[in-house]
């Protein structure tokens, strides 16, 4: 199966959402890792729940809400200045170390590269730019115009429509197991970057391939 | 606002899903609480994700899958006999101590009482029967015919259609904050039993009332 496009999840796949741990730890010593985990868990939970109840809000607002909940649940005082700093950090999240080189190796040969993300344009566009990755991608696709989040099938359809490549000829890469399986259910050829060596979620599908890091992808899809 | 019907969530609200801890602890000493937490978290996650990707399966099968994942993730050996025992335990989950008396106090005066649950009929019907609660309810409504899970709005609509009571005249009671807010978004009058004294999730709604236990409901809705 020739892959005419590679579509990447952003948060957790290209960019390390837990890069905020250092700042959290500075603000609330001893609580950084726990806060980062709960913040991320609530961010995902709110994206699923808002999709289900039909109450979309941009991922930036949802991420701020998830931070507020996580701090309240852990008894950590959060003020406007701390919120602003942490949300600003989200616009500069570090990519995983292997990402820039791996993207360079995947580009070329007429293959399109794109991001497909829950992130609203006010989050993802500054992030890609701040990290100097604009030239790596032919498109940066946000769920925002659809007013719903992954893993709703019409989010994945957005990549098919925008790139004009059939689903089966799109290689989709995510570190989020549920996103990988949502994309597989939709019809993409899916690679799961299983950085934490977690079990496959039991949602009725298996990824087409598992990778330890993004650097492992190029040899797997060489023609 | 007169409440002509009271509709209760089942798992976590009337019945204690963590009543399985003792059995888990017996099977895997020292791991009972952790397994029960992860099992429940995955059960909810799978219900949301399957709704979003449009791959419904009955809650009984989904609960079995969540158990399998949780054991694999924690490195606990699960065989067919242990699975069968734990799934059997789910058919006899203990109600919270205050539940039978509270239900008796709420019944009467022409007010309808019902359960609205993610649980498939093969799970919820034996459970209600095993715990001798059939006569407490006018209806036990499962999402199963709709092939989706809470908090999809059409699940809450099922109660309106089945009980023939307008949404605003239905009092909905759940211990699951996301379920309470999904029901509020739909239009019910909502009471959240906040047993864990958790913050309100930031989904754009507030419950109409918060209760420490089900016993607190009757005085709150007295005419």
pLDDT digits 0-9 by tens, B178-200: 999 999 999 999 999 998 899 99
For testing contact with chain A, the best of B35, B41, B49 (most A CBs within 10 A) = B49
Question: What is the spatial distance between Cα A55 and Cα A67, in angstroms, rounded to a whole number?
Answer: 19
Considering only residues 72 to 101 of chain A, which have any Cβ-Cβ distance to chain B shorter than 8 Å?
A: 72-73
Question: CATH for B5-15+93-221?
Answer: 3.40.50.1000
Question: What is the spatial distance between Cα B188 and Cα B184, in angstroms, rounded to a whole number?
Answer: 5
Residue A92 is encoded by which pair of tokens?
């500069």
Residue pair B180/B192 in contact by the 8 Å Cβ criterion: yes
Measured from the Cβ of residue A109, the count of other Cβ atoms closer than 10 Å reads 8
Q: Range(s) for CATH 3.40.50.1000 in chain B?
A: 5-15+93-221
Residue pair B13/B207 in contact by the 8 Å Cβ criterion: no
Question: What is the spatial distance between Cα B124 and Cα A190, in angstroms, rounded to a whole number?
Answer: 36
Over B96-158, what HEC string results? CCCHHHHHHHHCECCEEEEEEECCCHHHHHHHHHHCCCHHHCCEEEECHHHCCCCCCHHHHHH
A185–B66 CB contact, under 8 Å: no
Closest Cβ–Cβ partner in B42, B48, B57 for A52: B48
Furthest CA-CA distance within chain A: 54
**pLDDT at residue A218, rounded to an integer:** 92
User: Which residues in chain A touch residue B199, judged by CB atoms under 8 angstroms apart?
Assistant: 69, 72-73
For testing contact with chain A, the best of B38, B39, B47, B48 (most A CBs within 10 A) = B48
Say what the pTM is.
0.97
Q: B186: cis peptide before it, omega within 30°?
A: no
Residue in B51, B53, B131, B54 with CA at minimum distance from that of residue B91 = B131
Q: In sequence order, what are the beta bridge partners of B25?
A: none
Residue pair A214/A98 in contact by the 8 Å Cβ criterion: yes
pLDDT digits 0-9 by tens, A170-183: 999 999 999 999 99
Contacts of B214 (CB under 8 A, 6+ apart): B13, B14, B96, B98, B99, B102, B103, B173, B193
ipTM for this prediction: 0.96
Residue pair A6/A112 in contact by the 8 Å Cβ criterion: yes
pLDDT digits 0-9 by tens, B103-119: 999 988 789 999 999 99
B45–A73 CB contact, under 8 Å: no
**pLDDT at residue A19, rounded to an integer:** 86
Q: Range(s) for CATH 1.10.150.240 in chain B?
A: 17-92
Question: What is the spatial distance between Cα B77 and Cα A143, in angstroms, rounded to a whole number?
Answer: 40
Question: What is the spatial distance between Cα B176 and Cα B123, in angstroms, rounded to a whole number?
Answer: 19
Query: pLDDT averaged over consecutive 10-residue blocks of chain B (223 residues)?
Result: 93 93 97 96 98 98 98 98 97 94 90 97 97 96 98 98 97 98 98 95 97 93 75
Q: How far is B63 from chain A (nearest CA, A)?
A: 10
pLDDT tens track, chain A, 223 positions: 689 999 999 999 999 998 899 999 999 999 999 999 999 999 999 999 999 999 999 999 999 999 999 999 999 999 999 999 999 999 999 999 999 999 999 988 789 999 999 999 999 999 999 999 999 999 999 999 999 999 999 999 999 999 999 999 999 999 999 999 999 999 999 999 998 899 999 999 999 999 999 999 999 987 5
Class of domain B17-92 as given by CATH:
mainly alpha
B89 is catalytic: no
């Amino acid at each position: 199966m020739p892959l005419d496009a590679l579509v990447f999840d952003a948060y957790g796949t290209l960019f390390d959402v837990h890069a905020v741990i250092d700042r959290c730890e500075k603000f609330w010593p001893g609580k950084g890792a726990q806060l980062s985990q709960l913040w991320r868990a609530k961010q995902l939970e709110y994206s699923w729940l808002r999709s289900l109840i039909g109450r979309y809000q941009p991922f930036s607002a949802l991420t701020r809400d998830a931070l507020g909940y996580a701090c309240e649940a852990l008894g950590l005082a959060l003020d406007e200045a701390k919120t602003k700093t942490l949300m600003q950090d989200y616009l500069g999240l570090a990519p995983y170390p292997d990402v820039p080189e791996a993207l360079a190796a995947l580009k070329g040969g007429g293959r399109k590269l794109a991001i497909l993300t829950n992130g609203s344009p006010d989050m993802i566009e500054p992030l890609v730019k701040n990290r100097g990755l604009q030239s790596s991608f032919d498109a940066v696709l946000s769920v925002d115009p659809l007013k719903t989040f992954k893993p709703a099938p019409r989010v994945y359809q957005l990549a098919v429509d925008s790139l004009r490549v059939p689903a089966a000829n799109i290689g989709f890469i995510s570190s989020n197991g549920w996103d990988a399986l949502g994309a597989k259910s939709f019809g993409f050829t899916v690679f799961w970057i299983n950085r934490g060596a977690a079990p496959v979620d039991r949602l009725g599908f298996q990824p087409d391939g598992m990778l330890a890091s993004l650097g492992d992808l190029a040899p797997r899809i060489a023609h």
